[in-house]
A and B are shown apart, each in its own frame.
Chain A
Amino acid sequence: MNISQHFPVFVIIIPLISAVIIPLVGRIRRIYGWYVSIAATFSSLLLSISLLRTVFEKGRISYWLGNWEPPWGIEYVVDYLSGFVLVVISFITFIITLYSMKSVGKEIPEDKITSFYSIYMFFVAGLLGMIITGDIFNLYVFIEISSLAGYALIAVGRKRDALIASYNYLILGTIAATFILLGIGYLYMVTGTLNMADLRERLPLLYDSTVVRTAFAFFSVGLSIKIALFPLHIWLPNAYTHAPSVVGALQAATATKVGIYVMIRIMFTVFKPRFILEVVPVSQMFLYLSAVAIIAGSVLAIGQKDIRRMLAYSSIGQIGYIVFGIALANKLSIIGSLIHILNHALMKGGLFLVVGSIVYKTGITNIDDLKGLGKKMPFSMAAFTIGAFSMVGVPLTVGFVSKWYLALGALQAGKWVFVLVILISSLLSAIYFGRVINNIYFKDDGGGHTTKIDDAPAGMLVPTLTLASCCIIFGIAAFIPVYITRFAAEMLLGG
């Protein structure tokens, strides 16, 4: 019996168990909670990488939980798509966990730190579970695990606003989860199965059934709320703004990405591309919605005074990009979407970490107050600049790669108007990031900060710079992620 056969379940089990261990070891010394989190996320990362390698060597991995044969038992599936997203998400969570210690220590009351890390690990386990599961009800369970943990993480924020933000998110998130559960119920009602691969086989005969179509409608609405697709985004800006910095970064870089991954799974694995393109052309609806999201997110970001809120609105636009590529549903555009899952996680994660460092050092979140920070926090600000350039889509950064594929995908589909949407939103993001960069580097603070401020401590700086340099590395060596996502896109469209 080879231990590596059980890697798919270890990816989930390790964070889950550590979530329980943390309160125990946290009693001995608080810092142990952090150590365990790092160990858990790091081993998830290693396992994910090894799983992805196995996929490339041997093809799709199907793991039967408890050795129950699917469709009766729960199946965990690692293929090109889930392997890729697993690596992305576990990498980002590892980096953010590395970063978290000082920031959490400053922003969260001391007696809550241990329980914070415990919930944090539940959140991570939920996300990784959503990615790896091949069972649609198990998916719902993991969605709820990560969501409930997510509400709690946001509520830990210092100000009372955090509670309101968390409560809003809780209400909307619960509505979304209910929709998803109803969708699952309807599908089970007509097919009698919960296994995704099995559903895929059985559903085509039922594409005309109203129940199946209603189920798909429920999935669409529920997931659109989860990923904050405009105009169902209202929970997101407050949640990102009032959550502790680490949580903001984690949510922005991972939670919505996994939501979109689930959307892809439902659209392309549970249903077949034919369903969304021909039978019920919802792809058209998502196409226009995402175009509106791209523009609206960017326009709303311009008006913001708080930098976290600006980044949050920018995220809404970026989610639009990913949905846009999926809705176009050709090979180039799907590569664009999948690669943007990685790219946006890198750049938005990096940007939120920089904001976290600013908050840690100065407590500032207002854009106008950032004046003169370029000299005081040179490395953090360099990371911010790289992230900002990447968001605008300057060539040789990751942002350009996504835009290249999305635009080519749009052209290939003959929808050149959408290329304009992409370009206009690039310009809009140049405007709102330009304003911040101008403040950072080219405006004097007029002796505002009398206290001497230096750059963030190394423990925060190294993870931030890692993400920033990834923005450039994967912008130049873009063929590496493209190589993986190409297989994933072919798999989604082909089979």
Chain B
Amino acid sequence: MEIITSIKPLLIISVSLIAVLLIAASRKYPNLRESWTILAAITKFSLVVSMLPLILKGKVIEYFLISVLPGLDIKFRVDAFGIFFALTSSFLWIINSFYSIGYMRALKEHAQTRFYICFAIALSATMGIAFSANLFTLFVFYEMLTLCTYPLVIHKETPEAIKGGKRYLTYLLGTSIGFQLFAIFLTYNAAGTLEFSNNGILAGNGSALLLTIIFILFIAGIGKGALMPFHSWLPAAMVAPTPVSALLHAVAVVKAGVFTIIKIVLFVFGVDLASQLGLGHGLAYFASFTIIASSIMALRQDNLKLRLAYSTISQLSYIILGVALLSPDAITGGIMHIIIHAFGKITLFFTAGAIYVATHKTKISELNGIGKQMPFTMTAFTIASLSMIGIPPAAGFISKWYLVLGSIEAHQMPIVIVIMASTILNACYFFNSICSIL
């Protein structure tokens, strides 16, 4: 594996941080301010794309920034998995930026400068997570993402928003400091390094009990993955303006969570160690439970955004499930589901936002017949729903196909049943929404 040193990862992260300064400087001129966002989004995406050819040739791009302490480096490494996540998020940021402008202006929202600033920082943090070469770098950007999305969640500053924000921070900061940081301490103490490695770094560095504890602490510590019982921050975050829910709480933040889980399973523990200790199976059952339970909860929601949030929780667990099965097909399915779910869910949130801007309605039961007033929006909604359910030719089918193949490969028939059952549940709540809207 050839390693190329390039400053591009750092540039990609700093693009939106520079944009923050420009946005703040031009806060009096809304048009200029928004054009900085768009410009940053496009620059960021093109920079990510420009790295693509090298990565596709099987090379790895690295950039070492600074060593904070011996063993604690800020270092970036772009590999296929990371660039995949970065591509998805940076591309969707472009689209989302246009949408945000429309949404925020149509609703004449207050504190728009703060909104765009926090949004840009969030994207920097996301890229940082995607390109991190070790657990420390990942943790830095993970916390940054939590903190900079908080002002977005409580954007409305109503008591309800503050309450949601409190829950958001409690869950995300609580789990990351209480469990994830503890796991990082234990990992460093056991392995003497925090660097991601293809074979994992923990193998042979501790008793089975210790390693299992570290694994559990990591999984519990990555609240952004919204694995039950640490999921309830995500519905709480739905008080945020819809563009935030769309890009951050359907793509960037939650995917950063599952991305971190995947990194830890594959590059801190390694496939061999994880299957040897039976950690994968344990995780798979947790994910299965989350899939079923949150699908049932989604069915019971009347608020459209909340229903989508619970649907996100269950779809995230598909991804976690894919990795937990530790078979090649399942991992492929899981990773593919990151992008497929991203496109599907952001569409659904966009439509929810469009409905809100046009009618100021949020409840599904109030939306009867809106399909006739907003035919394009509802077409998009239907297509995205089909993908979520996994009906061919929509993309959702492909990832589910791989997941099922993978679980058969891993001889996990119960998991196949879980996927089937959840597909039925998905179908129930999406058809139910579509029917009541049309």
Contacts and interface: CB of A to CB of B under 8 A. Distances in A.
Interface residues of A, number: 32
Contact of B68 (A427, A434, A441, A476): A476
Contacts of A427: 173-174, 177-178
B67 to A, nearest CB: 7
Contacts of A479: 67-70
Given A395-B136, A420-B182, A427-B173, A404 B69 contact: yes
Interface string B114-155: 000000000000000000000010011001000100010010
A488 to B, nearest CB: 16
Max count, chain A CB within 10 A of own CB: residue among B68, B182, B189: B68
Given A419-B182, A419-B185, A476 B66 contact: yes
Contacts of B177: 392-393, 423, 426-427, 430
21 contacts: A392-B177, A393-B177, A396-B140, A401-B69, A408-B185, A408-B188, A411-B185, A411-B186, A416-B186, A420-B182, A423-B178, A427-B174, A427-B177, A427-B178, A430-B177, A442-B162, A443-B162, A477-B68, A478-B69, A478-B72, A479-B70
A332 B140 CA distance: 22
B364 to A, nearest CB: 30
A475 B74 CA distance: 12
A419 B181 CA distance: 10
A482 B70 CA distance: 10
B91 to A, nearest CB: 28
Given A401-B69, A442-B154, A395 B143 contact: yes
Q: Is the interface of B mostly helix, strand, loop or mixed?
A: helix
B66 A412 contact: no
Interface string B153-166: 01001000010010
Contacts of A430: 169, 173, 177
A407 interface: yes
Chain A interface mostly: helix
Contacts of B169: 430, 434
Interface of A: 389, 392-396, 401, 404, 407-408, 411-412, 416, 419-420, 423-424, 426-427, 430, 434, 438, 441-444, 475-479, 482
A369 B89 CA distance: 40
Given A423-B181, A477-B66, A479-B70, 4 more contacts: A424-B178, A427-B178, A476-B66, A478-B72
Contact of B72 (A404, A416, A441): A404
A442 B68 contact: no
The 3 nearest A-B residue pairs measured at CB: A411-B189, A395-B140, A407-B185
Nearest to B186: A411
A412 B189 contact: yes
A411 B165 CA distance: 34
Contacts of A441: 151
A427 B186 CA distance: 18
A443 B67 CA distance: 38
Contacts of B189: 408, 411-412
Interface in B27-79: 66-70, 72
A146 B164 CA distance: 49
Given A430-B173, A434-B169, A401 B68 contact: yes
Contacts of B157: 442-444
A476 B188 CA distance: 19
A407 B181 CA distance: 10
Nearest to A486: B70
A132 B26 CA distance: 53
B119 to A, nearest CB: 17
Given A411-B189, A427-B178, A441-B151, A394 B70 contact: no
B47 to A, nearest CB: 23
Interface residues of B, number: 27
Contacts of A477: 66, 68
B143 A482 contact: no
Contacts of A438: 162
Contacts of B72: 404, 478
Contacts of B162: 438, 442-443
A39 B396 CA distance: 71
Contacts of A475: 68
Given A404-B69, A479-B68, A479-B69, A394 B185 contact: no
Nearest to A475: B68
A75 B139 CA distance: 48
Contacts of B151: 441-442
B122 to A, nearest CB: 16
Contact of A396 (B68, B182, B186): B68
Nearest to B66: A476
Contacts of A392: 177
Contacts of A478: 68-69, 72
B175 to A, nearest CB: 10
Contacts of B66: 476-477
Nearest to B161: A442
A394 B143 contact: yes
Contacts of B165: 442
A442 B239 CA distance: 15
B100 to A, nearest CB: 20
Contacts of A407: 185
A401 B70 CA distance: 11
A70 B154 CA distance: 65
Contacts of A444: 157
Contacts of B67: 479
Nearest to B139: A395
Contacts of A408: 185, 188-189
Contacts of B147: 389, 394
B140 to A, nearest CB: 4
A347 to B, nearest CB: 17
A476 B174 CA distance: 24
Contacts of A389: 147
Interface string B181-222: 110011011000000000000000000000000000000000
Contact of A482 (B69, B140, B178, B181): B69
Of listed A404, A427, A438, residue having the most chain B CB within 10 A: A404
B171 to A, nearest CB: 12
Nearest to A403: B181
Contacts of B188: 408
A405 to B, nearest CB: 8
Contacts of B181: 423, 426
